[in-house]
Chain A
Amino acid sequence: MNGSVLTLVEYVGHWSISSVRSLGKAGYLTTGALRALRNVEIWGPRLVPQMVSVGVASVPIALFIAVFTGIVLALQASYTLTGAVPIYLVGTMVGKSMILELGPVLTGLSLAGRVGASTAAEVGTMRVTEQIDALETLAYDPLAYLVVPRVLAGVLMFPVVIVLASAMGILTGWSASLTLLEMSSAEFVRGLRLFFLPFDIQFAVIKSLSFGLIVTGVGSFYGFHAKGGAGGVGMATTRAVVVASMLILVLDAFWAVILL
Chain B
Amino acid sequence: MSIVLRNVHRAFGRNQVLRGLDLEVLDGETLSIIGFSGAGKSVVLKHMVGLIRPDSGDVVVDGQNVSELDVEDLNELRRDIGYVFQFAALFDSMNIAENVAMGLRRMPEMYDDEIMARVSECLALVDLEGTENQYPSELSGGMVKRAGLARAIATRPTYLLYDEPTTGLDPVTVTVIDRLIVRMKEELGVTGVVVTHDITSAYRISDRIAMLHDGRIRTSGTVDEIKESNDLLLRSFIEGRPELTERAS
Partners in one complex: yes
Instruction: Mark A residues whose CB is within 8 Å of B.
Output: 126, 129-131, 133-141
Q: Which residue on B lies nearest to A39, using beta carbons? A: B71
- Cβ contacts A to B, 29 pairs, < 8 Å: A129-B89, A129-B92, A130-B85, A130-B86, A130-B89, A131-B89, A131-B90, A133-B83, A133-B85, A133-B89, A134-B83, A134-B85, A134-B91, A135-B102, A136-B49, A136-B50, A136-B78, A137-B78, A137-B83, A138-B78, A138-B102, A138-B151, A139-B76, A139-B78, A139-B79, A139-B103, A140-B102, A140-B106, A141-B71
Q: Are A137's CB and B106's CB within 8 A?
A: no
Minimum distance in angstroms from B59 CB to a CB of chain A: 15
Point out the residues of chain A lying under 8 angstroms from B117, CB to CB: none
Minimum distance in angstroms from B178 CB to a CB of chain A: 22
Point out the residues of chain B lying under 8 angstroms from A130, CB to CB: 85-87, 89
Q: Are A137's CB and B91's CB within 8 A?
A: no
Report Cα–Cα, A129/B92, bound state, in Å.
10
Asked if B200 is at the interface of the complex by the 8 Å CB criterion, the answer is no
Please classify how large the interface on chain B is, using the bins under 10, 10 to 19, 20 to 34, 35 or more: 20 to 34
8 smallest beta-carbon distances between A and B, as pairs = A139-B75, A130-B89, A134-B89, A137-B83, A138-B103, A139-B106, A139-B78, A130-B85
Asked if B172 is at the interface of the complex by the 8 Å CB criterion, the answer is no
Point out the residues of chain A lying under 8 angstroms from B89, CB to CB: 129-131, 133-134
User: Beyond A131-B89, A133-B51, is A138–B81 a contact (Cβ under 8 Å)?
Assistant: no
Given A133-B46, A137-B49, A137-B82, 15 more pairs with CB closer than 8 A? A126-B91, A129-B89, A129-B92, A130-B85, A131-B91, A133-B85, A133-B89, A134-B90, A136-B49, A138-B102, A138-B103, A139-B75, A139-B76, A139-B106, A141-B71
Point out the residues of chain A lying under 8 angstroms from B81, CB to CB: 137
Minimum distance in angstroms from A189 CB to a CB of chain B: 47
Minimum distance in angstroms from A149 CB to a CB of chain B: 13
Contacts across chains A and B counted by CB atoms under 8 Å = 48
Minimum distance in angstroms from B97 CB to a CB of chain A: 15
Report Cα–Cα, A130/B92, bound state, in Å.
12
Point out the residues of chain B lying under 8 angstroms from A141, CB to CB: 71
Q: Are A129's CB and B87's CB within 8 A?
A: yes
Point out the residues of chain B lying under 8 angstroms from A135, CB to CB: 102
Point out the residues of chain A lying under 8 angstroms from B50, CB to CB: 136
What string of 1s and 0s marks CB contacts (under 8 Å) between B90-110 and chain A? 111000000000110010000
Point out the residues of chain B lying under 8 angstroms from A131, CB to CB: 89-92
Minimum distance in angstroms from A136 CB to a CB of chain B: 6
Q: Are B51's CB and A136's CB within 8 A?
A: yes
Minimum distance in angstroms from B3 CB to a CB of chain A: 15
Q: Which residue on A lies nearest to B161, using beta carbons? A: A137
Q: Which residue on B lies nearest to A131, using beta carbons? A: B89
Report Cα–Cα, A130/B148, bound state, in Å.
12
User: Beyond A130-B85, A130-B86, A131-B89, is A137–B102 a contact (Cβ under 8 Å)?
Assistant: no
Point out the residues of chain B lying under 8 angstroms from A138, CB to CB: 78, 102-103, 106, 151
Point out the residues of chain B lying under 8 angstroms from A136, CB to CB: 49-51, 78
Minimum distance in angstroms from A102 CB to a CB of chain B: 35
Q: Which of B51-89 contact A (CB under 8 A)?
A: 51, 71, 75-76, 78-79, 81-83, 85-87, 89
Q: Which residue on A lies nearest to B79, using beta carbons? A: A139
Report Cα–Cα, A130/B103, bound state, in Å.
16
Report Cα–Cα, A126/B91, bound state, in Å.
8
Q: Which residue on B lies nearest to A125, using beta carbons? A: B92
Q: Which residue on B lies nearest to A45, using beta carbons? A: B105
